[in-house]
Amino acid sequence: MPQDRTGDARPFPSSKLSVLRKHPIFCDLDPDALDQLCRYAKHASLKRGATIFSRGDAGTCLFAVISGTVKISISSADGRNAIFNLIGPGEIFGEMSVLDSQARSADAIANTNCEVFIIDRREFLPFVRSQPELAMKFIELLCTRLRWTSDQVEQIILQNLPGRLASALLRLTDKHKLAPGGRTIAVTQQEISEMVGMTRESINKQLRVWAARNWVRLEHGAIVVLNEVPLQALAEAGAATEDD
């Protein structure tokens, strides 16, 4: 775990309850169960770039994101990176190793300054067993993650660059349910390139073509989706030329 973890050193109970009550995974728990979960959850503040866990680590705890973004990725021996997912507020991560007792399958790194709740596996598993509805939510979450991964593999194998990039942008906006009319994705072009398996230069070239057509707007560390319709068409076709 990162060294800048704060634990429960500062007063946090009321805001902790408020955050967990609004969390999509935990919001339907009855008040007593929510109070119990609050006793288990420990708060941590993480600086951008902090390693939360590494591939091969033991899966000793579950994480719920309060604010910021966490990058789930792997790295090769020659320094290449592949991003599997960007986890934002209202999402959890680390659940797979907690549930199956196997080692972590990827790295988790704070992509921005973050606040998270940490729940120890030894307390969480008995809690889930006592809450059947919560167990069902985790089954649904695992299915969603599997579909997300399947979509990524399909896009990388079958789609060309415009199709891959359009699909990635649409999935990121839909995933976080951002407001229509100005969908801002807090992601860099380098991160997008690591998600779709193309060079940053290719990504930049394609995004500039789309920006000139007012489909997207490029900002520092972010991409704003202005028009989803042509991007959806490219994602579905997957066989247009790079300048389409």
Per residue in 204-213, pLDDT (tens digit) is: 999 999 999 9
Contact 25, 134 (CB under 8 A): yes
- pLDDT of the residue at 9: 36
- CA–CA gap between residue 164 and residue 24 (Å, rounded): 29
CA distances (Å), 7 to each of 11, 17, 46, 65, 92, in order? 10, 15, 11, 15, 18
- CA–CA gap between residue 60 and residue 112 (Å, rounded): 23
Confidence of residue 177 (pLDDT cuts 50, 70, 90): low
- pLDDT of the residue at 80: 83
Helix (H, G, I), strand (E, B) or coil at 213: coil
**Distance between alpha carbon 197 and the CA centroid of its chain, in Å?**
18
Could you tell me which residue, 71 or 2, shows the higher pLDDT? 71
Confidence of residue 5 (pLDDT cuts 50, 70, 90): very low
Q: What is the DSSP letter of 102?
A: P
| Residue 11 confidence (pLDDT) above 70 | no
Name the percent of the chain lying above pLDDT 90: 40
Helix (H, G, I), strand (E, B) or coil at 103: coil
CA-atom Rg of the chain in angstroms: 19
Nearest to 47 by CA among 140, 103, 112: 112
pLDDT digit string (tens) for 45-54?
Answer: 999 999 999 9
Domains of the chain, start order: 13-153 (2.60.120.10), 159-237 (1.10.10.10)
| Residue 193 confidence (pLDDT) above 50 | yes
| Residue 13 confidence (pLDDT) above 60 | no
- CA–CA gap between residue 193 and residue 233 (Å, rounded): 21
Residue 234, judged by CB atoms within 10 A of its CB (0-12, 13-18, 19+), counts as buried
Q: Specify which of 27-41, 68-82, 172-186, 207-221 reaches the highest per-range mean pLDDT.
A: 207-221
Token match 């779709």: residue? 196
Confidence of residue 239 (pLDDT cuts 50, 70, 90): very low
Name the percent of the chain lying above pLDDT 70: 87
**Phi, psi torsion values for 22, nearest 5 degrees:** -90, -10
Confidence of residue 6 (pLDDT cuts 50, 70, 90): very low
- CA–CA gap between residue 187 and residue 171 (Å, rounded): 13
Nearest to 189 by CA among 229, 218, 151, 155: 218
| Residue 174 confidence (pLDDT) above 50 | yes
Give the mean pLDDT of the chain.
Answer: 84
Helix (H, G, I), strand (E, B) or coil at 4: coil
Nearest to 110 by CA among 53, 46, 41: 46
